[in-house]
Structure 1
Amino acid sequence: MTPSGDASIHASAVLVGDRGILIRGPSGSGKSRLAFDLILAGRAGQIPAVTLIGDDRVRLTVANGRLVVQGVPELAGMIEIRGLGIRTIAFAAEGRVGLVIDLDAADAERLPPPQALKTQVSGLEIPRIPVGRGYAALPLVLAFLTTV
């Protein structure tokens, strides 16, 4: 990423209440699916309202000591729904990242050590959920958001 934050990364992001969730993982790992599942969970009242920030590519910048995620303008409000294609949905311009989800994470464990539940992004420590290949991410994210 350039210092100006002009470069984008391959990731998706949603805004849950006032917390941005950055969803990372290799192509085909389910980033778009998790983003849409979270939107549906928000609509069902399981968690606060969820709004798409960006799907497939997002920009990360540091502002006032916080990590901020923004969608890229050319994909604003677009999300891939496997089996339906690219769909349009309401979106937020940006959010402060309060959680990182790493899909297909090699270090995912049944009882992860505390250091696995944090990551460094642009020099900032952010809570993290590592999700192993083949495991459902949604229940882990819902548990994170609804338990202490």
Structure 2
Amino acid sequence: MASGEQPNRHCSVVVIEGAGVLIEGPSGAGKTSLALGLIDTAKARGMRAVLVSDDQALLEERQGRLFARAPEAIAGRAEIRGYGIVELANVDECAIALVARLVEDERIERMPEARATTLMGVEVAAIDLPERHEQQATRIVLAWLKGSETGLTGDS
């Protein structure tokens, strides 16, 4: 583990067609909204998509790959702000293919270069997405997954 890095991370994680997406950002940035929006949109496009964890995930490096799973107490649950806790279908864990960081609008580059971040000693592709703009962020993540080596297909 990298110095100071904790295996329990404040984030939401979904898996779409086998590709794990770790969504991070400050409280209220729209992590859960994006996670649920990604699941709904991917399913509407005929893709397999499911929650791994909402609000926090336990990260682990295995054989040079980054894996995420939900802490047992919150597995299969998500908090919808303004409504409460809901039960959702979930999977135990997934390998992370993309870290999606929710940031302030002014930090979003118009035509960003490919980049990566390192978590738990593992380098993972990373993108910045606009906070609280679920629809646009969903389009960006699905386009990234479709264009990456994950081999996803579907309409953009």
TM range (shorter): 0.7 to 0.9
CA distance in 2, matches of 1:134, 1:121: 24
Q: SS of 2:12's equivalent?
A: strand
Q: Distance in 1 between matches of 2:72 and 2:84?
A: 19
Is the Cα contact below 8 Å between 1:67 and 1:122 reproduced in 2? yes
**How many Å apart are 1:134 and its aligned residue?**
5.2
Find out whether 1:88 has 2:87 as its counterpart.
Answer: yes
Corresponding residue of 1:65? 64
Q: Which residue of 1 aligns with 2:154?
A: none
Structure 2: tracts of 5 or more residues without a match: 149-156
Which segment drifts farther, 122-131 or 61-70?
Answer: 122-131
RMSD: 2.3
TM-score, normalising length: structure 2: 0.82
Per-residue deviation at 1:132? 3.2
Q: Mark the CA change 1:44 to 1:133 in structure 2 (over 3 Å): closer, same or farther.
A: closer
User: 1:108: which partner in 2?
Assistant: 108
Residue 128 of structure 2: which of 124, 127, 130 is its match? 130
- Cα drift, residue 137 of structure 1: 1.1
Contact 1:69 1:96 in 2 (8 A): yes
1:18 aligns with 2:36: no
Separation of aligned partners in 2, 1:134 and 1:27: 11
Match of 1:144 in 2: 144
SS of the residue corresponding to residue 51 of structure 2 reads strand
Conserved 8 A contact 1:109-1:132 = no
Between the aligned partners of 2:41 and 2:16, the Cα distance in structure 1 is: 10
Would you identify which runs of 4 or more consecutive aligned residues in structure 1 move more than 6 Å? none
Secondary structure (helix, strand or coil) at the match of 1:126 reads strand
Name the CA distance, whole Å, in 2 between partners of 1:85 and 1:134.
18
The alpha carbon displacement at 1:6 in A equals 8.0
Alignment identity in percent?
35
**CA offsets, 1:57-90, max 9 Å, x none?**
1010001111000111000100112332110011
SS in 1 for 2:112: coil
Question: Matched residues in 2 for 1:6 and 1:140: separation?
Answer: 28
TM-score using structure 1 length: 0.86
- Distance (whole Å) between structure 2 residues aligned to residue 131 and residue 42 of structure 1: 18
- Cα deviation digits, residues 21-50 of structure 1 (max 9, x gap): 10010000000001100110122125x211
- 1:20 aligned counterpart, secondary structure: strand
Aligned-residue offset at 1:133: 3.8
The residue type paired with residue 40 of structure 1 is D
